[in-house]
Amino acid sequence: MKITFLVYNIYGMGGTVRTVANTANYLAAQNYDVEIISVRRTRGKPMFDIDKRIKLNPIFDARRGKLFGKNTPLYKKIIKRILMKIPSVFIDKNEDLYHMFNLFVDLKILKKLSEINQGVLITTIPSFNFLAAKFVNRNVIKIGQEHKYFGGYEKSIQTKIRKYYKQLDALTCLTDAEINDYKRLLNNHSTDLYKIENATHMPKESSNLVEKTVIAAGRFVHEKGFDLLIEAFEKVAQEYPEWKLKIFGDGVEKDSLRQMIFDKKLYNNVFLMPKTDNIIKEMSNSSIYALSSRNESFGMVIIEAMSVGVPCVSYSCIGPAEIIKDGEDGVLVKRNDVDKLAESLTTIIKEDSLRKSMGRNAKENVKRYSFEVVGSKWENLLHEQEFKKNKTPLKKVYSQIEVQ
């Protein structure tokens, strides 16, 4: 079965990129024919490991000096520059990355989609889901992914979700809460809903939980709430000045966060670290993971931290509330409550036995997000959708699988 992913930038960082890379690698290991169409290319090689059997197909090479291919005629360069100055007409204006699209990229995406005439297409943001529903061949199994809860979208995207998601064959969601939302929104339409969480590798190593380091990671944007975390850690540092907070990432709020650190005189305690392609190593050298997002539909970083036995303190957003067992393998805090976040961090810092107990439980409980578990959900989805598309009775096909 040919499986094609459409993703914004497989060469970049972020939870969606990690998830696509992990899922694609798993399916390639199961001998599926996998291709990743990446709208943009910003590096020579992806930051995350990609199985050599997977075909990478970038649409727009955004690297310096790569805008035009060799020997490109002048008239084509002029046309390309004109199209690139025209805003996108197919990507919703309220998508987080809308400013990175233009009419030239739109046309390149549509051309790629028109070339897909069999197998499975998996799309990864609402606007890509809409394009699949509207323009992709009916013979293709169209699977949309949701990485964000419905209420977190602007009204224009919500309206299109109600209209176009009914034309998808299947939609994957990360939490039970999202599944329930989409059941209501799609009104029991023929689109099949699947809860498929993000999966992670289960590393052998574990943190010894003795390093006096709290870690966080993500885009430096308002939604991630790193300003709230810095405010909370100011209170922590007053009581435990030897402890450090390292925040890995990059983004538009970098300068304001740095200024906040200096204003609070936390430059010996709070450090903005560059984004890394080996966050697991950094987590292994920490003792607590802190998630301060104002909204979080899942929280890939949480399961990664738990996989190396690091307990998490998190605001009780939709995703973290399903992942963390409060008081057992981490702590859930009422959203935006800075004082409670500081208090919870302080409690785990001062109680070594509690921290280590939570770490052991985290290492065990996170196994439900292993590739063995989540990968089987993907294979089940693919089999069911293939049966449905080909009108093949389930019992007959399952018997064929058993014989093989």
Q: Evaluate whether residue 144 is within a structural domain.
A: yes
Distance CA 157, CA 205 (A): 42
Shared-domain flag, residues 303 and 183 = no
Distance CA 226, CA 292 (A): 6
Shared-domain flag, residues 317 and 380 = no
Q: Evaluate whether residue 222 is within a structural domain.
A: yes
User: Which domain CATH number covers 319?
Assistant: 3.40.50.2000
3-state secondary structure of 111: helix
Q: Evaluate whether residue 206 is within a structural domain.
A: no
Residues in the chain with pLDDT values less than 50: 394-404
pLDDT by residue (tens digit) across 66-119?
777 677 788 788 998 899 999 999 999 999 889 999 999 999 999 999 999 999
Distances (CA, A) of 24 to 31, 130, 194, 197, 354: 11, 22, 18, 14, 37
Distance CA 326, CA 352 (A): 17
pLDDT value, residue 301: 92
Shared-domain flag, residues 166 and 58 = yes
Q: Evaluate whether residue 204 is within a structural domain.
A: no
Shared-domain flag, residues 222 and 345 = yes
CA 129 centroid distance within chain? 16
Shared-domain flag, residues 17 and 104 = yes
Shared-domain flag, residues 314 and 342 = yes
Using an 8 Å Cβ cutoff, are 331 and 314 in contact?
Answer: yes
Angle value at C-alpha 260, between 256 and 263, nearest 5 degrees = 135
Shared-domain flag, residues 270 and 351 = yes
Q: Evaluate whether residue 228 is within a structural domain.
A: yes
Shared-domain flag, residues 362 and 246 = yes
Distance CA 80, CA 61 (A): 13
Complete DSSP assignment for 154-183: -HHHHHHHHHHGGGSSEEEESSHHHHHHHH
Per the structure, the complete domain to which residue 17 belongs is given by 2-199+371-400
pLDDT value, residue 188: 67
Q: What are phi and psi of 206, to 5 degrees?
A: -140, 150
Distance CA 21, CA 36 (A): 9
Shared-domain flag, residues 195 and 281 = no
Shared-domain flag, residues 20 and 82 = yes
Distance CA 143, CA 113 (A): 14
Place of tokens 């090479």: 61
Shared-domain flag, residues 262 and 287 = yes
Instruction: Count structural domains, the chain.
Output: 2
Using an 8 Å Cβ cutoff, are 119 and 1 in contact?
Answer: yes
311 exposure class (CB count in 10 Å sphere: 0-12, 13-18, 19+): buried
Using an 8 Å Cβ cutoff, are 28 and 53 in contact?
Answer: yes
Q: Evaluate whether residue 268 is within a structural domain.
A: yes
67 exposure class (CB count in 10 Å sphere: 0-12, 13-18, 19+): middle
SS3 content of the chain, % helix, strand, coil (to 5): 45, 20, 35
pLDDT value, residue 392: 56
Shared-domain flag, residues 350 and 275 = yes
Q: Evaluate whether residue 208 is within a structural domain.
A: no
Q: Evaluate whether residue 207 is within a structural domain.
A: no
